[in-house]
Amino acid sequence: MTTRLDTRFADLARAGRAGLVTYVMAGDPDRETARAILQALPGAGADVIEFGMPFTDPMADGPSIQAAGLRALGAGQTLRKTLEDIAWFRASDPTTPIVLMGYYNPIYIYGVEKFLVDAKAAGVDGLIVVDLPPEEDEELCLPALKAGLNFIRLATPTTDDKRLPKVLQNTSGFVYYVSITGITGMATPDFGQTASAVARIKKHTSLPVAVGFGVKNADHASAVARGADAVVVGSALVDQVKGSLDASGKATAGTVSAVTDLVSSISAGVRGARKAAE
């Protein structure tokens, strides 16, 4: 079965460029503004959208995304509303892939079977669930694949060649390479080592490899795009939301454009980079 992610990465390969994967948090800073950001992302240059599922106890997220999750939860965002937001987006955009990213607890509480049915119906294409290792594939990964959703796994600088085949088992859509050892939005990656890591992963899989964590601007994105199939930007966009809020933490007239302006700049960096010969 060909998914929206398969189609998008095949289109990118034919175009000879890397893709841009943008992460924003559902419901941040409020549902209406988050929907407006979501709707504007493809026009600004996003090829794939990661939509964060707010959670109080994230293990891989740095202060920026943790704060975004708390803003969203404080504004009343729930997993049910997040799925409704995606269904709303799908009414006007049937082609841009959307991947839900977050943690297992909210899905477990929602109910795995109901979640997968509702996610598929809403137009979700894939899942990144950070705290479910491959040893727990029967919990969610295998049911998600059976439901027709991609299940994207993270590989890190500490994922060696012995561990990598296990990580890649049942992974689909793309592989998300975490370019630093640590949490989101903190260190800047060594782009030379990132390219080497992507090349090593590609010896084990034919899946596209997207690189994220620490990519903050067009120069960073361009450097990553020379060696990867896609560049993931998250904390830098979430910081744009935070920086646009008024003194009471509410969205302003500049919140959506603060995000889309940076996406446009980074997209130009990605599109201008030539992929390294494969």
- What class is the 4-272 domain? alpha beta
Q: What is the pLDDT of residue 126?
A: 98
Q: What is the pLDDT of residue 185?
A: 54
Q: What is the pLDDT of residue 188?
A: 66
Q: What is the pLDDT of residue 26?
A: 98
In three-state form (DSSP H/G/I as H, E/B as E, the rest C), the secondary structure along 103-122 is CHHHHHHHCHHHHHHHHHHH
Q: Model confidence over 219-272: pLDDT tens digits?
A: 889 989 998 999 999 999 999 999 999 999 999 999 999 999 999 999 999 998
Cα angle 90, 92, 98; round to 5: 35
Q: What is the pLDDT of residue 160?
A: 86
Q: Model confidence over 98-156: pLDDT tens digits?
A: 999 999 999 999 999 999 999 999 999 999 999 999 999 999 999 999 999 999 999 98
Is 0.85 topped by the overall pTM? Answer: yes
Parallel, antiparallel, or unpaired: how do β-strands 48-52 and 154-155 relate? unpaired
Tell me which residue of 146, 162, 163, 144 sits closest to 154, measured CA to CA. 163
Q: What is the pLDDT of residue 190?
A: 72
Cα angle 232, 268, 13; round to 5: 65
Share of the chain above pLDDT 90, in %: 79
User: H or E element: which one contains 270?
Assistant: helix 255-272
pLDDT of 61 strictly over 90: no
The overall average pLDDT reported for the chain is 92
Q: Model confidence over 180-192: pLDDT tens digits?
A: 665 555 556 677 7
Q: Model confidence over 160-206: pLDDT tens digits?
A: 889 999 999 999 999 999 876 655 555 566 777 888 889 999 999 99
Find all residues with CB under 8 Å of 29, minimum gap 6, and list them.
71, 72, 75, 241, 245, 249, 250, 251, 255
Q: What is the pLDDT of residue 276?
A: 43
| Cβ proximity of 276 and 227 under 8 Å | yes
Phi/psi class of residue 16: alpha, beta or left (left: φ > 0; alpha: ψ in -120 to 50)? left
Q: What is the pLDDT of residue 273?
A: 84
Q: Model confidence over 67-92: pLDDT tens digits?
A: 999 999 999 999 999 999 999 999 99
Cα–Cα distance list, 121 to 23, 157, 162 (Å): 21, 35, 37
How confident is residue 278, by pLDDT bands cut at 50, 70 and 90? very low
pLDDT of 277 strictly over 60: no
Share of the chain above pLDDT 70, in %: 94
Extended beta strands in 68-161, E state: 98-102, 126-129, 150-151, 154-155
Cα angle 145, 167, 125; round to 5: 30
Find all residues with CB under 8 Å of 36, minimum gap 6, and list them.
256
| Cβ proximity of 83 and 124 under 8 Å | yes
Indicate which residues carry an active-site annotation.
50, 61
